[in-house]
Structure 1
Amino acid sequence: MDQKNSEEFYSRLREQLKESTSWPSDYLYKFIVLSEPEKIAQIHKIFDNTGAVIESKQSKKGKYTSVSVTVNLKSPEQVIEKYKEVGKVEGVISL
């Protein structure tokens, strides 16, 4: 996603989160990443010291791992900040 599209996406997401959720609130992230321990560890590190509950599950053939993260955040801006941080992990797909 190029810079312009990603800013539009995050702007829409921010508005949707403001309208649909009262903050602070629990937020569920879902990511898909290659089953490489260092990539999964990078995602874990992003949510260190946040009180997040992280669950990982490998795909049937073991090539990919889904990572679900539930964390209590104060605002839509915090949600977007974490998406941007995780987006820097090579090959990660945000759902």
Structure 2
Amino acid sequence: MSQFTTEEFKRKLDDIHDFPTLYMFKFIVTEDKKSAVKALFPSSELNYKPSSKGKYTSVTAKVMIQSSDHVIDVYKEAQKIEGIIAL
């Protein structure tokens, strides 16, 4: 999200999506941070894919999102997780 301002990102989300919508979040974290990502989506099923050496894990969540503000809120919470990479 660093390449966009929050307002630009919100505008792009609103242009692309009709909310509410099923939105896909994808993050890369170290193995020990998987539970922190799970905490962002307590009632959602997540898909995990470990890297070839097992040091990192790709985490994908498909979540019903009500608004672009909700998407931004999730990314802001995710930024609090040390070392997280949002895709």
Q: Provide the TM-score with structure 1 as the length reference.
A: 0.84
Contiguous gaps of at least 5 residues in structure 1: none
Cα separation, 2, equivalents of 1:53 and 1:79: 17
Runs of 4+ in 1 over 2 A off after TM superposition: none
When the two chains are superposed, the root-mean-square deviation of aligned CA atoms in Å is 1.7
Give, as a single letter, the amino acid of the residue that structure 1 aligns with 2:7: S
In structure 2, stretches of 5+ residues that fail to align are: none
Q: Once the two structures are aligned, what percentage of the paired residues are identical?
A: 36
Q: How far apart are residue 20 of structure 1 and its match? A: 1.1
User: Matched residue of 2:73: which SS?
Assistant: helix
- Give the aligned partner of residue 64 of structure 1: 56
TM-score (norm 2): 0.91
Look up the match of 1:35: 31
2:71 to 59, 67, 79: 79
**CA deviation vs aligned residue, 1:12-69 (integer Å, no higher than 9, x gap):** 1110111111110010011001111xx11011011113xx231011000001000001
Q: Distance in 1 between matches of 2:77 and 2:23?
A: 16
More helix by share: 1
Partner residue, 2:21: 25
